[in-house]
Amino acid sequence: MAASRWRTPAGRLSRSAALLLGAVLVLLAMVWGAASGAYAIAPAQLPGIVWDGLRGLLGGAVQQGPEHLVFLNIRLPRLLMGVAAGAGLGLAGALMQGLFRNPLADPGLIGVSSGAALAAGITIVLGGMYLPWLPRHLGSWALVVMAFGGGLAVTAVVYVLGQVQGTTRIGLMLLAGIAINALAGAGLGFLSFISTDEQLRNLQMWLLGSLGASRWSAVGLVGSAVALNTLAALALARPLNAIALGEAQANLLGVAVEKTKRRTVLVAALAVGAVTATTGIIGFIGLVAPHWVRLIAGPDHRVVLPGSALLGAALVVSADAVARTIVKPAELPLGVLTAFIGVPLFLAMLRQFRSKV
């Protein structure tokens, strides 16, 4: 029977079926995202515009109209940034839930988002006056570079605090993460206290997240960072499967547990750091995407990791399509939307599966 090839005995989708479904969802979301926006572009025009853009890349003569510019320079980079951001956040969520062996874990736990937020706050509030070298040497990239560095730095602190005699205690790391997150929150509170009105509002907007600043150059950077980390994450699938049985068992199975933990933290921090530094905080994707993938395809990390990346991408691209159009010509901050969509769905899942959590 054809159907049984796609279903495991537990009634879940098989690995290839789940990944195929994920890829289809991403494609559908991208088509939706490409066709929607405040600027009216007839969907029938889109293939032609994309074709012209590709010819332009190869140096050919290109037709020019405002639709070309809006689509190729504003909507398309934003769409691809949505894919990269969603994939990075979904992937990191799946990695964290695997590492902590807890379905409630999200990338925020290792401090990467709050570190990025704190560094962004420092840049916004102190950048011009007290740290004048920031704009001088980093230009418009100051905020991105600082946020990325801040995210990684705070993650490193959390990781080191989770160490006992050279081994990583996951429980300890969790507590350290909570403490450091609180500290970063206090730092942000202090920064907002000393900030001017304008800085405060800039900071607030950054914390709400948006794909509005998706330049092609940023898409290239975040896209390659997420792609590399996705590849690195796939190599972690089997060791994480083993760790799901318990660290002692994983050791017996010959898995290098310490190395796996270190790499998992690093890959998740790099992916979330790259995304968050350019878009601000986009919440709940990392929490929700892996859950859904496990529900439909089971807990094997070989499907949860790539599946969460695909589902995360589809979710962010769809949420952004709504954010861009629901109050047009204005735009809703994306982080608001992902929380509005993500939290109720998450609570519904909790109710449905409360016996299993």
Q: Which of 273, 317, 351, 4 is nearest to 114 (CA)?
A: 273
Among positions 39, 244, 341, 345, the unique one binding another protein when judged by CB under 8 A = 39
Taking the least distance from each CB to another protein, the nearer of 3 and 330 is 330
Nearer to another protein, 1 or 58 (CB): 58
Q: Give the residue with the Cβ less far from another protein, 3 or 40.
A: 40
Binding pattern for the stretch 71-100 against another protein, x by CB under 8 A and - elsewhere: -xxxx-x-----------------------
Residue from the set 10, 42, 164, 330 that interacts with another protein by CB under 8 A: 330
How far are the Cα atoms of 134, 188, 269, 333 from residue 205, in angstroms, in the given order? 20, 13, 22, 8
- Our finding on whether 128 is near another protein (CB under 8 A) is yes
Among 216, 296, 298, 340, binds another protein (CB under 8 A): 216
Which residues share a beta bridge with 163?
Answer: 168
> Residue 57 or 231: which CB sits closer to another protein?
57
Q: Which is nearer to another protein, 10 or 61 (CB)?
A: 61
Q: Which is nearer to another protein, 62 or 253 (CB)?
A: 62
Q: What is the CA radius of gyration of the chain?
A: 21
Token pair 């990338």 is at which residue?
107
Contacting another protein within 220-249 (CB under 8 A): 220-221
* Per-residue binder mask for another protein (CB under 8 A), 46-75, x = binder: -------x--xx----x-x-x-xxx-xxxx
Of the listed pieces 101-109, 199-207, 257-265, 266-274, which binds another protein according to CB under 8 A? Answer: 199-207
By beta-carbon proximity to another protein, the closer residue of 68 and 294 is 68
Q: Which two tokens stand for residue 351?
A: 């109710």
Q: Which two tokens stand for residue 205?
A: 């907007």
Q: In this chain, which of 3, 11, 197, 355 binds another protein, going by CB under 8 A?
A: 197
At its nearest, how many Å lie between another protein and the CB of residue 133? Answer: 11
316 part of the interface to another protein, by CB under 8 A: no
User: Of the ranges 36-44, 102-110, 234-242, 302-310, which one interacts with another protein (CB under 8 A)?
Assistant: 36-44
Question: Which residues contact another protein by CB under 8 A?
Answer: 37-40, 53, 56-57, 62, 64, 66, 68-70, 72-75, 77, 123-125, 127-129, 134-135, 139-143, 193, 195-199, 201-202, 205, 210, 212-213, 215-217, 219-221, 324, 327-331, 333
